[in-house]
Structure 1
Amino acid sequence: MQPKVLIAYVTRSGSTEDVAEAVGTTMEQADVLVDLKPMAMVEAIADGTPVVLGAALYVGHFPREFHGFMNRFRRELENARPWIFVLGPTDKDPKHFTQAEEQARKELAKYPWLHAADVRVVGGKFDPHHLKLTFPFNLVMKFPGNPMRKMPVSDTRDWEWIRRWAQSIAEHVKKGPDANRGEFAEYTLYKNSMLGK
């Protein structure tokens, strides 16, 4: 019996969750069962479970929930070779995507035991009116003179590519655990492949 794919994510304002849901929906449409939940809600990972992880970069770093998840499930993730999507730049400057790739590499390098099947920066979203910030940053955002309040809404998430990527994962999952996970469709907009070894 084909195992469910665990799609675990960390979200602040919902943008990472949106991508996780799109990945899950695409995989379900390909007849792959998924278990979609925030990382904080994951209680266990059964051996042999395919895993997709999602997190955003905040000032060049993954949130602490991501690192807590990695430490909590080291043994399971070491054997799982997860696919990882990373939310990053909210503009389409290729240099910013390259910087995000480098930041993601540095963050993942904290876990030398991790052998990801694939890591991709998929863009990001910024909406100053729907930021879920903690104290004291939430108060700072309310200051009338804060320039961030005047920044335009932007969304660089490439939904067509995200769905193609999810479809590729679904196809590999259906081939079984011994399938080569390195053969994915190239990212057509930013060429930001970060294939795990």
Structure 2
Amino acid sequence: MTGRVLVTYGTKHGSTAHIAESIADTLREEGLTVETMRAASVPFVSRYDAVVVGGGLYAGRWHRDARTFIRRHHDDLAERPVWLFSSGPLDASAAERNLPPVRTVRRVMRDLHARGHVTFGGCLEEDADGWPARRIVRAGRGGDFRDFDAVRAWASGIAAELKE
């Protein structure tokens, strides 16, 4: 496939955006044409041949912008290859084992026949906005648990499938 790939995401603090950019960079390095955009900013998906959708996890729920994106573009997404990713565990669990998707993402995977899903570790730094985020950091449960080698490896797998 030599078409266009959209990598889109919903994020609160920016960690998921960095993962999305890493995925997009890897796909570009593999020779694909890629556009990266916040999920709330995507007007349509009909111009893309494949879509990667990511959402940060907050209290066990996928980010609202990712959920809204899926609802808004469901019919077009059902006509093209789709991969999903989540980010958010503030511990090493995502690096240690394959974490199952949350309920909403499982439903999306089934409805869209998504080709895959992965959960990456999250990141919550000291300068995070919002009372809940600051409380988590003050309790010593913040940090950066993203594994960009795993992100690039997953994206390379997507590229391989798309180039078949």
Q: Do they fold alike, i.e. is TM over 0.5?
A: yes
Larger Rg: 1
Q: What stretches of structure 1 of length at least 5 have no aligned partner?
A: 176-197
1:106 to 103, 108, 114: 103
What corresponds to 1:65 in structure 2?
Answer: 65
| Aligned-CA RMSD value | 2.4
Match of 2:12, SS state, is coil
Within-5 A mapping of 1:110-149: 110-111=107-108, 112-127=110-125, 129-133=126-130, 137=131, 141=134, 146=135, 148-149=137-138
Gaps (5+ residues) in structure 2? none
Using the size of structure 1 for normalisation, the TM-score is 0.72
Q: 1:15 and 1:58 mapped to 2: Cα distance?
A: 12
CA distance in 2, matches of 1:22, 1:35: 12
- Give, in whole Å, the separation in 1 of the partners of 2:2 and 2:60: 36
| 1:154 is the counterpart of 2:151 | no
Q: Is the 8 A contact 2:90 2:141 kept in 1?
A: no
Aligned residue pair count? 162
Structure that is richer in strand per residue: 2
User: Any residues of structure 2 matched to 1:9-28 within 5 Å, and which?
Assistant: 9-28=9-28
Identity, % of aligned positions? 27
Q: CA separation in 1, counterparts of 2:53 and 2:70?
A: 10
Cα distance in structure 1, aligned partners of 2:38 and 2:84: 14
- Letter in structure 2 aligned against 1:31: G
> CA shift at 1:78, angstroms?
1.6
User: Is the partner of 1:80 in helix, strand or coil?
Assistant: coil
Provide the C-alpha distance between the structure 2 equivalents of 1:72 and 1:30, rounded to a whole number of angstroms: 29
Quote the offset at 1:152 in angstroms.
Answer: 5.6
1:35–1:126 CA distance, 2 compared to 1 (3 A): same
Q: Distance in 2 between matches of 1:46 and 1:20?
A: 20
Shift of 1:28: 0.9
Q: CA deviation at 1:150?
A: 4.7
Report if the CA contact (8 A) 1:5-1:49 is conserved.
Answer: yes
Question: 4+ runs of 1 displaced by more than 4 Å?
Answer: none
- What SS does the aligned partner of 1:113 have? helix
Superposition TM-score, scaled by structure 2 size: 0.86
Q: What is the alpha-carbon distance in structure 1 between the residues aligned to residue 139 and residue 111 of structure 2?
A: 43
Deviation digits for residues 129-180 of structure 1 (CA, Å, limit 9, x no counterpart) = 22233xxx47x94xxxx574252642221111111111111122122xxxxx
Q: Which amino acid aligns with 1:167?
A: S
The one-letter code of the counterpart of 2:129 is K
Greater Cα offset, 38-47 or 146-155: 146-155
